[in-house]
Structures are given as structure tokens and as C-alpha cells.
Amino acid sequence: MPCFSCWKLDTQPIVRPMVFRKDTRTMLSRKELFKDTLKKAAHAWKRIVELRLTGPEDAQHKPQAFSTIYLFYVGGSKLAEAGMFVPAIKGQGTEEQQKKWLPMAYKFQIIGCYAQTELGHGSNVQGLETTATFDPSTDEFVMHSPTLTSSKWWPGGLGKASTHAVVYARLITEGKDYGIHGFIVQLRSLDDHSPLPGITLGDIGGKFGSGAYNSMDNGVLRFDHVRIPRDQMLMRLSQVTREGKYVHSDVPKQLLYGTMVYVRQTIVADASKALSRAVCIAVRYSAIRKQFGSQAGGPETQVLNYKTQQSRLFPLLASAYAYRFVGQWLKWLYTDVTQKLEAKDYSTLPEAHACTAGLKSVTTSATADAIEECRKLCGGHGYLNSSGLPELFAVYVPACTYEGDNVVLLLQVARFLMKTVAQVATGKQPVGTIAYMGNIQHLMQCKSAVNTAEDWLNPAAIKEVFEARALRMAVNCAQNISKVPSQEEGFSELSPDLLEAAVAHVQLIIVTKFIEKLQEDIPGPGVKEQLQKLCSIYALHLLHKHLGDFLSTGCVTARQGALANEQLGKLYAQVRPNAVALVDAFDYTDHYLGSVLGRYDGDVYPALYEEAWKDPLNETVVPDGYQEHLRPLLKQQLKLSRL
């Protein structure tokens, strides 16, 4: 039974404990915020144990209930990057290592972080400098940070909370450098949490925004010849023997792809959550906010009725749904990849890698931009912390950088596309999300048959132009690279164009998965119809935004581009009556949204007014500093120095 003395009624009929309150988070100092996050996480875990929700574990993480409760109640607050510590051990640890370490991590007996990035190197993992040198005389690795730039820098949870880390370091044995490998290293005492001898640890300092990622102790770590047992090297893919011999195991290194697909799938799903949250706030508030248009003293116009507001907001609403469906499909892809790995079929892995890298990049970049757009769509009030949007933006935006910088990832996609174009030229049939490239004869010369604005509602017409645009951009790049004597030089010279080709390919994947989703049964009267409109909006707004690509590759004429825009306008008008219902369908509680503007009951102004008084600046009527600074100024008692 819950302890009712500490539970309080929400504006909606649910009970939640006061410990999970988050309305003051942006006003807390860094120290208070961090402590508050520890409190929330510990309480969430306590309740999970009390309510016996500890199973089943999902594929890679803590028990599923923890992820869910954490997301809904702890929300933007973060505690440690357990999300990567566990998958790293699952993916790279032997069965024995998994048996030893994972139960402790699942039960929070240890807290782990993922320590890869260094002060001097992030994207270029091969450039990492931390060393792990094997000492056969003691059967240990010696972990060392030889330079300032080799300091581990950024790992989430490292600064203050973690007791352990998976540390990536150059493995050196028998005098030879075998490159980057993972090691489980205990960082702090399990008795008093102090750093172990030879280990320097700290937080790297405040980050962008109030609240947000500042609840996370991203940290710095240095080793001074720290010894760890040999069996703490993650040894699934390669081992160091007792004598110090480096040996590859017979486990193929492609197994790592499974973990990577899993992690990226969660990032895409998170993009949909963050975007739908921002859109929910902006749509609800736009239905409440009124400006101008009053006739004869009547009510002003809801800003949601302005065509400009719709043309900025509804594509974001459509994107939130699009990312949800592509995220669901990625879940399926993960299962498919796992089954193929078990059957030792590695043929589709490069495609799965490119596809997940591209989707991570495109969905996170678009979501970060969209949250900021939602802030602007809420006018001045959107800039207040109480709107929930500044913190959402600040906490979300690093998703464009962590787990692979978005540009670096798109360049990997582009490399894969160039390889595929070359293979298609030799007659090889591509599979999965690049299967369309096999239709090269048709796609290189087809012209859209669209003749009226309504023709753009046909999914086949949409798919054809998106496929033709993506393929032609990739082929153009490949042709231009081939004109440069060195392929590498050509790739580097053309990298801005390659990025655009990669984006076109990824947008095609999202559009296709949305269209495919709508070929399934969708329960609920009229729901499918609404989703079809959103699917058309998603595709046509991309066509409108990237019209230059479609025109320059010759798959769409200027007239057809104008027809697409005309159809978009009609779709916006059709979506308008259901816009609020379409965001209510996300089913977010007020507590989860954390926004006075996005309140379910629409009672925005009293909430805004009340929220302002909670600011610490309003604790006194006359501000601190009045006597020392403001009064002398007002009384003209300042000692002016002679000019």
C-alpha cells in the first residue's frame, strides 16, 4: 500500500508522491538538483521493490518497470548512464562476466557508467589515449592516463554517482598496442564512496540550461597506474591469456551490432516522446491563446486558427507520429537482427547499421529543432521555465551529439550509400531499406505523374518521388566522387552533398514506414483517416522544404511542387478540428508534461500567475541587495570617482 501521508492528488485523477514533484527543479542550485535527483531515483527504486515490479528485465536494461517509472516520474532528471553500462557488458562481456556483474547493476548494488570519450577525442574512438597494459607478473591490467587529453571527459554518472565504469582504453600486451577494448573498473569504495587509490574523479561542470542535464554528473576521470584483475577485461570478442597472449575468440565481432541497434532504437523512440511532448504543449496552448481578430468586441482568434501557426505546427505533429511508427519498426528490426545473429547470418548487418545511424541522426536533429520551434510557437510564455519547453530543449539537444555526432553518423550512412551504388552497378540486388536502389532503371528516369493537388494524397506517388530523389542524389555524388583521382579526397570534397544525400535516404525510410503502418489494421473509428492526413502532411512538408532537391534531380516539376504546397494547405485545414485530440492521444499526464501552458484543463493563466510566485526571487518583497546596491544608487549616494 502507498504511504498516503506523502501522496498528493494531481490535477488529473492519479496519486503521486511529493518526492516526484518537479515544478521547482529549474530553480534549484546544482547541488540541490543533484541531491534531488538521487532522492527521486532511490525512491523510484524503493517503490518498485515494494510493489514487486522488479521483473521482467527488458533486453538490455534495468527491469522494464524501472525505465517506465523513471521516465514518467523522474523524467528529465538523470542518474548515471546505466543505460550504456549494462548494454556494454551484455554485448562485450562473456557469459561469466554477465552473470557476475549484471545482477548487481540491475539491483543498484553497483552503479555503472560508460567511459569512452576523452578530453582530446570523442568521435574518433581509435584516437583514445588511456592505456590498459597487461602485467603478467601479477595477472593484472594497469590502467593509466598518460596525458591531460587522455582524461575521460563527459561520461554520465561518472562525476559523483558511479561506483564502476566500463572504461575504453588501448590494450597493450607483450609490448604491442592492440587498440581500443573495454574494461570494467571499480572507481569508488562500496563502503564510503571515496575514489579508490590512483583514481581522480570529479564533475565537469554546469551545462546548458536550468535543471535539465545539470541533474546529471557528467564526469572527469584520470588513472595513475591503477591495477585491475585480468578478468575485468570484457572478453567476449578477444582475450588476453594468463601468459599475456592476445587472442581473438571465435565469436564474430558483428555481434556488437545487436547492442548498437538496440541503443539507437531507444534513441529514436525517445525522439518521438520528446517531440510529442513539445507538440502537445504547443497545440494545447495554441488552442487557448487568442490574439487579434476581434470583431465588434467579440472574442479574439485562437492562434491555432492562423494558417502560419498551422503550417509551422502541424508538420511537427505529423513528425511526432512518424517517429513513433519508425521507432516501432526499429523494435522489430532489433528482433530481426538478433534472430539473424543467432543464425549466424550477417548479410543484412551493414544495412541495419546504416539505417539505425541515419535514423538516430535525422530524428534527433529534427526533434531538437522542433522543440525550439514549439517554444517560439508559444510566444513569450514559451520562454518561461514554467512552460516546460526550455528545460525540454536543454535536456534533449545533446542527443544530437551523444551516441555518435549526427554529422559523423550521416557520413557513415553516405559511405554505405556510395558502396551500394557501386554494388548496384555490378548487378547486386540490395535488400531492406535500400532495396529501392535495385529499381535503378526506373528511378533514374521516371517523372512524377501528379497532375492535381489531390494526386499527392496517393502514397505510391509520394514514395516514387522520394525514392527517385534519394537515389539520384546518391548516384550524383558517386559520379562526382569518381571524377576525383582519389576516392577519399573525393569523399571529403563532396561531404556536404553526401550529407544531403544521406538525409534524403533517411527521410525516405521514415516516409515509407509511415505508409506501411497505414496498410495495417488501425483500431478506432476514423483513426486511420486522421493518420493518413498526418502521413501526407509529413511527406508533403518535406517535399516543400526540400523542393530544391526534387527539382534539381528532375523528379518533380515546379508546377507539381506548387500542387504539393496547395494540398498541404488543405490538409492543415482538415487536421485543425482534431489537432487537440491528436495530442491528447499521446496520453501524457500534466505531471509528465511539466508545463503550465500544456495543461490538460487549459486553465493556463491562473497557473502561469501562480507559478511566478514560486520563484525564489519572490520570497522577499524587497530584494536582497537593495540596501547595499540599489538604495545608494536611488539616493544618489554612490561615490563617483573623478573622471
Q: Give the sign of the dihedral formed by CA 173, CA 179, CA 183, CA 187.
A: positive
| 212 versus 511: smaller Cβ distance to ligand FAD | 212
User: Which 46-105 residues touch ligand FAD, going by CB under 6 A?
Assistant: 81, 84
Q: Does 183 bind ligand FAD (CB under 6 A)?
A: no
Q: How far apart are CA 505 and CA 517, in angstroms?
A: 19
Run of H or E including 630: none
Q: Which of 41, 89, 111, 115 binds ligand FAD (CB under 6 A)?
A: 115
Q: Does 156 bind ligand FAD (CB under 6 A)?
A: yes
Span near ligand FAD by CB under 6 A; candidates 114-122, 518-526, 574-582, 608-616 = 114-122
Round to whole Å and give the CA distance between 639 and 633: 10
**Piece in contact with ligand FAD (CB under 6 A), picked from 24-32, 110-118, 131-139, 309-317:** 110-118
Assign 247 to helix, strand or coil. strand
Alpha carbon of residue 383 to chain centroid: 22
Candidates 29, 109, 123, 627; binder of ligand FAD (CB under 6 A) is 123
Write b or e for each residue in 179-188: b if 16 or more Cβ atoms lie within 10 A of its Cβ, otherwise e.
ebbbbbbbbb
Is residue 123 classed as helix, strand or coil in its secondary structure?
coil
| By CB under 6 A, residue 398 contacts ligand FAD | yes
C-beta closer to ligand FAD: residue 405 or 566: 405
Residue from 37, 117, 214, 266 that binds ligand FAD (CB under 6 A)? Answer: 117
Q: Cβ closer to ligand FAD: 154 or 550?
A: 154
Q: Which stretch binds ligand FAD (CB under 6 A): 87-95, 288-296, 402-410, 620-628?
A: 402-410
Q: Does 159 bind ligand FAD (CB under 6 A)?
A: no
Strand segments, DSSP code E, in 371-410 are none
156 is known to lie in a ligand binding site: yes
> Are 364 and 302 contacting, i.e. CB atoms less than 8 angstroms apart?
no
Give the interface segment with ligand FAD, choosing from 49-57, 219-227, 394-402, 588-596 (CB under 6 A): 394-402
CA distances from 216 to 212, 219, 534 (A): 8, 9, 36
Half-sphere exposure of 82 toward its Cβ, with a 13 Å CA cutoff? 25
Phi, psi for 269 (deg, rounded to 5): -60, -40
Of all residues in this chain, which one has the CB nearest to ligand FAD in the complex? 122
According to the annotation, is 117 in a ligand binding site?
Answer: yes
In whole angstroms, the minimum distance from the beta carbon of 124 to ligand FAD comes to 7
Rg of the chain taking only CA atoms, in angstroms = 27
Q: Is 213 in the site for ligand FAD (CB under 6 A)?
A: yes
Residue from 114, 323, 456, 588 binding ligand FAD (CB under 6 A): 114
Beta-bridge partners for 188: 195
Of 66, 154, 257, 436, the one binding ligand FAD by CB under 6 A: 154
Please, which residue, 289 or 360, has the CB nearer to ligand FAD?
360
Question: Which residue out of 81, 118, 373, 403 is catalytically annotated?
Answer: 403
Tell me if 391 contacts ligand FAD by CB under 6 A.
no
Binding part of the chain for ligand FAD, among 109-117, 454-462, 479-487, 533-541 by CB under 6 A, reads 109-117
Name, in order, each residue with C-beta under 8 angstroms of 49's C-beta and a sequence gap of 6 or more: none
- Please count the other Cβ atoms lying within 10 Å of the Cβ belonging to residue 516: 14
Nearest Cα neighbor of 478 from 454, 494, 462 is 494
Closest CA to 453 of 546, 318, 562, 312: 562
Q: Please, what is the minimum distance in Å from the beta carbon of residue 126 to ligand FAD? A: 12
Pick the binder of ligand FAD from 116, 215, 364, 386 (CB under 6 A): 116
- Nearest approach in angstroms of CB 209 to ligand FAD is 11
**C-beta of 7 vs 402, nearer to ligand FAD:** 402
Q: Is 96 a catalytic residue?
A: no
Residue with Cβ nearer ligand FAD (217 or 549): 217
CB count within 10 Å of CB 294 equals: 11
Task: At 273, give phi and psi (nearest 5°).
Answer: -65, -45
Answer for which of 57, 135, 369, 405 binds ligand FAD (CB under 6 A) is 405
Q: Read off the amino acid at residue 59.
A: A
Rounded to an integer, what is the distance from CA 9 to the centroid of its chain?
Answer: 32
Cα–Cα nearest to 509, from 413, 396, 427: 413
- Cβ of residue 114: shortest distance to ligand FAD, in angstroms? 5
Residue 402 as a binder of ligand FAD (CB under 6 A): the answer is: yes
Dist CA 259 CA 337 (whole Å):
10
Residue selected from 254, 328, 401, 439 as contacting ligand FAD according to rule CB under 6 A: 401
Q: What is the DSSP string of 148-173?
A: GGGSEE--TTTTTT-SEEEEEEEEEE
When binding is defined by CB under 6 A, the residue of 17, 87, 112, 122 that contacts ligand FAD is 122
- Beta-carbon count within 10 A of 244 CB: 15
Total number of residues binding ligand FAD (CB under 6 A)? 20
Question: In 3D, which of 130, 125, 110 has the Cα closest to residue 223?
Answer: 130
- Written as one letter, the residue type at 37 is T
Q: Which is nearer to ligand FAD, 135 or 500 (CB)?
A: 500
Helix (H) or strand (E) holding 8: strand 7-9
Q: Which of residues 288, 407, 518, 585 is near ligand FAD by CB under 6 A?
A: 407
**Shortest approach of ligand FAD to residue 402 CB, angstroms?**
4
Nearer to ligand FAD, 407 or 518 (CB): 407
Taking the complex as a whole, the smallest distance from the CB of residue 368 to ligand FAD amounts, in Å, to 12
Distance between CA 13 and CA 600 in Å, rounded?
A: 12
Name the site residues for ligand FAD (rule: CB under 6 A).
81, 84, 114-117, 122-123, 154-156, 213, 218, 398, 401-402, 405, 407-408, 411
Q: Which residues are catalytic?
A: 403
Residue ranges of the annotated binding site for FAD are 117, 156
Residue ranges of the annotated binding site are 117, 156
